[in-house]
Amino acid sequence: MRRTLFPSRETRPGGGPRRRRAPGPTRFLAVLGAVLTGAVLLTAALFLLLGGAGSPGGATGTPAGSATSGRDVDRVVGQLVSVFENGTPEIQYAYVEDLDDGRGYTAGRAGFCTACGDLLTVVDRYTAQVPDNALAGYVPTLKALAASFSDSTSDLDGFPDAWRSAAADPEFRQVQDEVTDELYVAPARTLADANGVSSPLGLAALVDTAVQHGTQDGPDGLPDLVRRTNADMGGSPADGIDESEWLRGFLDIRRATLENPSSSATSEVWGESVGRVDALDALLDAGNLDLDTPFTVDPWGDPQTIG
């Protein structure tokens, strides 16, 4: 899939995941490289084939027996990740901020960034659909920044206002949903299906890990965490391992990775993010594998209700 096209964030300039300064919880996101055309086409095909679980409006065409069959959990998964990312279940399409973290502007529902290529993907696609938009004039600069992984914002005067203005357009919000689905949700669903992870909570755990750790091959990426879990558990749910026990093992490995990542540059901010894992563990302890709503999560000392 996309793994070889998006190197681990640890190999990028700027080090580890981004940290939101105030107010609300620490903010983290996997850093994605500049998006190549072939990767976009491939992930779009996966999106059409498998459906997307990141869009609040819900996906269609989900295969029977998959993690989202029987009912629509897209909204719930999206809200849960939003709590982990932004401290609120309300999807933050208009969010934009320079976090001084080596990635330029961070913006939108999934923390797309100007130095990483994923924000360019959003703006490029939106401009193809709506040529006369407030962000269109920034495309050449965004391409240059993504190509060099530059965190410079000196040539982006007025960009935050333009992003917030575009976020009022339902078409722009839909583009954000699509790109989130392609970059995070489709790879997570593929791994869920391949490993027999069929519960909504299992899907949510993999999607959130994709958002924070990335979907690339590497010692801290989602695929490697799944492989390590399978090795530790002697298989996956597809091999007959109890899904609850497998998820507990997966979350233990994710917590250990956050506390001791392969790159020392990420250790401080990742160590502060274990509340994400604690919140997922609490749902598992409560037996809420179906993510039955309403439920409350408290990753950052500020309980949020989803439902």
Q: Is 85 a catalytic residue?
A: yes
Instruction: Mark whether 220 is an active-site residue.
Output: no
111/85 Cα distance (integer angstroms)? 8
DSSP 123-183: HHHHHHH-SSSTTGGGHHHHHHHHHHT----TT-TTHHHHHHHHTTSHHHHHHHHHHHIII
By the 8 A CB rule, do 251 and 209 touch? no
Single-letter residue type at 202: G
Considering the candidates 101, 151, 177, 178, report the single residue annotated as catalytic: 101
Contact 27/20 with Cβ under 8 angstroms?
Answer: yes
Active-site entry in 85, 178, 208, 220: 85
The catalytic residues are 85, 101
